[in-house]
Chain A
Amino acid sequence: MKAQEDVLLEIQDLSIEYRTKRGKLQAVFEASLSIGYGQSVAVIGESGCGKTTLATSIVQMLSRNAAISSGTVLFRKKGEEGVVLNHLNEKEMRKLRWSNIVMMFQASQSSFNPVTKIQTQFIDTALAHDPHADIQEVLKRSKELLELVYLDSDTALNAYPHELSGGMKQRTLIALSLLLDPQLVILDEPTTALDLITQKKILHLLNSLRSSKGFSMMFITHDLGIVTQLADRVVTMYAGAVVENAPTKAFFSDPQHPYSKGLLKAIPSLDASFEQLYSIPGSTPDLVEKIKGCLFAPRCEFAFDRCTKEVPQLRKVGQDRWAACHLLKEVSDVTH
C-alpha cells in the first residue's frame, strides 16, 4: 500500500488456521498490511481477533497446532532483496530473529531466565548471533542501552530478574531487544502489566528510541489510548480479518468501518460525555463455524442482504486508507 521500495514488511493475503478438536479454526483470514521504514503501525482489536497470531506468524513462532495456509510475509531490509519469511527454514529464520526482527510477547516481564543475571542474558544474546563477539564490547553497549531506558546500568546488569520490578524488567527487555540493532520491533500488548504512570514513561521512551534508532515498530493492543501516542497507522482487525487500515489521526477523527466506529464509542474517556457511549450488541463469532458473508454482519446495525452473502474485500475508501465494508464506495486510485 506504499511504494514498494519504502516497505520493510509486507503481509499479503495471509491466512492462518489452528487445528482444534472441534475442527479448523480460521484465526487469520486473508490479512494484508505493510510497514514502512521507521513507521509505527498499531494493530487493534478485541481478544480473539487474531492480532497476536498475525504478529507471531511474522517471527514464525506459531504454536504447533497452527499453520499458515496461504499468503506471504515479505521482509525487505533497506537496499536488499526481500525474503519471504514463511518460506525460510528454521535455521535461516533463527538468524533473523532478534538481530533483524524482535518480538516482545505479552507479559514479557516473565521472558527472562530467572536463574541467571541480566548481564549473562545480554552476553548470551550477543554470542548466539556472533560467537566471536567481544564480551567487553557487548557489556559496554548493554550499559549504554540500559542508561537509555533510565536504568542504573551496573545495578541492572548485576541483578537477577526477580530483583527488578515489572516496569524495570520491561525496560530491561526493551534495552535487550535493541542490542543487535533490529529493523523491526514487534510488541504484543507492551503496557498491559504496567500501571498508568510507568506506561506513560515507557511510551515516551519507545517514541524517542524509534526516532533516534530509526527502527520500525508494530504493536498490538486493545488500549486505544496508547495508539494515538505511539502509532502512525492503525490496522483494525475483527474475527481474523483486517477491516480497516488508516492513518492514526484520520482513524480517530473519522473511522469508516462500522466495527471501528462501534469500538471507538465503546471506550469511555476521561473527558467525553457518556451519551455517545455504548456497547456493540452481540458477541464475537465462533471462528470454527463457517460464516457466510461479512463476519461483523450479525452485530452490525447497517447490515443489508449483500452483507450476509458476500465477504467484503479491503478497498481504498479515501486518501491513504482502506476498509472492508459493502457500505463504503471504492475511490479510484489517483495517487499511483
Chain B
Amino acid sequence: MSLIEIHDLHKSFHNRKAGGVDILRSIDLTMQVGETVCVVGESGCGKTTLGKILAGLQEYSGGSFTYKGEEVSALRKEQWKTFRKDVQMIHQNPYESLNPTQMVFDMIAAPIRRHKKIRDFDALYAEVVRLLEMVGLTPVEDFIDKYPANLSGGQRQRVSIARVLSMDPKFIVVDEATSMIDTSLRISLLATLKKIQDELGVAYLYITHDLALGRYFAWGQRLAVMYLGQIVELGPTEGMIEDPHHPYTKAILSAGRVEDKDSYDLKGVDIPSFRQIPQGCSLSPRCPEMIAGLCDVTVPKLLEVGSDRFVSCHLYGQRDEPSMAEKARQGQR
C-alpha cells in the first residue's frame, strides 16, 4: 500500500469578484514510504497549497487524498490524531516559526510531553539530546538552553527539524526550507535531511523554486513540475533534468542553465492569472510548440510516456498516432 495517494485533487478558493478560483486542478500523485518527491514551479503555481493539503493544514475541495489507504477528510478522533502526528511540515521561515520566548529544550520537549507522555525529566532530556544530535546541533550543551535569538538561520531550521522529528513522522512536507538560509550553509542542511531519511525512512515532499537545489535533494528519486495549479511533468529526477519532455520543463531548465546554447524560450513574459486560465492546455498561449486547434482546445491528460515518467502534453502520446516530436525522438535513439 502506498503511503500517500492523491487522485484528481482539486482546491478552489472563494473570491468575491471571480467566484471560485481553482488553485489546484486534477493533481495525481502517489508517494511510497521513504520516498522523496521534489515539487518545483514558479511562485503562485500552487505548490505551497499542495504541500499544506498534504500536511493536513488545509482542506481540499474535490478528489481523493488517502493516507495509508484511509481518506483523509473522513479521518476522525484517534485516526486524525495519528495522521497529524505522522505528517509534519517544516516551514519556510525559521525566523517566524519558532517561539522567541522558549528555549530550544522546551520547544522540542513540549510535543514529546504532550504526545509521548514522557514525564520523567531524565528520560525527556535524553530524548531531546538524541534529537539534537540527529540534526547535527552538537555539542548539544551549546544549544539546548539557547533562545532562538541566539541562533543563526541554519541552526534555527535545525531546531525546527528536531521538533518535527520528535513526533516520529512518516511524511514531512519541506516547504522552501533553505530559502532563508545563507547560501554557504544550504547544502549541509539538505544533507542532514537526506541522512535522516536514510536512518528513519521518512518520506519528503520537498517544495522549491530552485531547480538546482531540487536536483541535488531529489537525486535518484522523483521530480514533479507544476504550472498554474497542475502537475505538467513527473518522473525520475535524472531523466527529467537530462531529457525534459514538457515544453514548460524545457523552458525552466533552459532559464536555469547559465550557459545555454540552444535556449528554449516561452512566448510572452507573464504568467496568466488564475482567474483567466487559458482554454485547453494552460501553457498553450506561451508554448513555442503549440498545435493550433488541439492545444488551445483540449486539455491534455497526465499520461505515462516511459517508465515511471508522466507528461501532460499533446506532443507526447495524447493522440492515436505518435506525434512528430515523438517520431523525432525515436529516430535519435
Contact = CB atoms under 8 A, between A and B. Distances in A.
B309 interface: no
Contacts of A302: none
A84 to B, nearest CB: 34
B219 interface: yes
Contacts of A277: 187, 216
B258 A267 contact: no
B12 to A, nearest CB: 21
B325 interface: no
Interface in A175-218: 193, 195-201
Interface residues of B, number: 37
Interface string B176-203: 0000001111111101000000000000
Given A167-B270, A195-B209, A270-B215, A279 B187 contact: yes
B187 A268 contact: yes
Contacts of A274: 216, 219
Given A165-B270, A283-B182, A197 B259 contact: no
A86 interface: no
Contacts of B209: 195-196
Contacts of A270: 211-212, 215, 241, 253, 256-257
A228 B183 contact: no
Interface string B23-46: 000000000000000000011000
A301 B203 CA distance: 35
A171 B268 CA distance: 13
Contacts of A263: 183-184
Given A225-B256, A270-B215, A270-B257, A195 B42 contact: yes
Contact of B215 (A47, A228, A268): A268
B213 A268 contact: yes
Contacts of B182: 46-47, 283-284
Given A199-B255, A201-B269, A283 B42 contact: no
Interface in B253-274: 253-259, 265-266, 269-271, 273
A143 to B, nearest CB: 18
A274 B213 CA distance: 11
A63 interface: no
Given A167-B269, A195-B271, A201-B269, A269 B42 contact: no
A200 B155 CA distance: 33
Closest 7 CB pairs of A and B: A195-B42, A279-B188, A280-B184, A200-B255, A196-B255, A268-B212, A283-B152
Interface of B: 42-43, 152, 154-155, 182-189, 191, 209, 211-213, 215-216, 219, 241, 251-259, 265-266, 269-271, 273
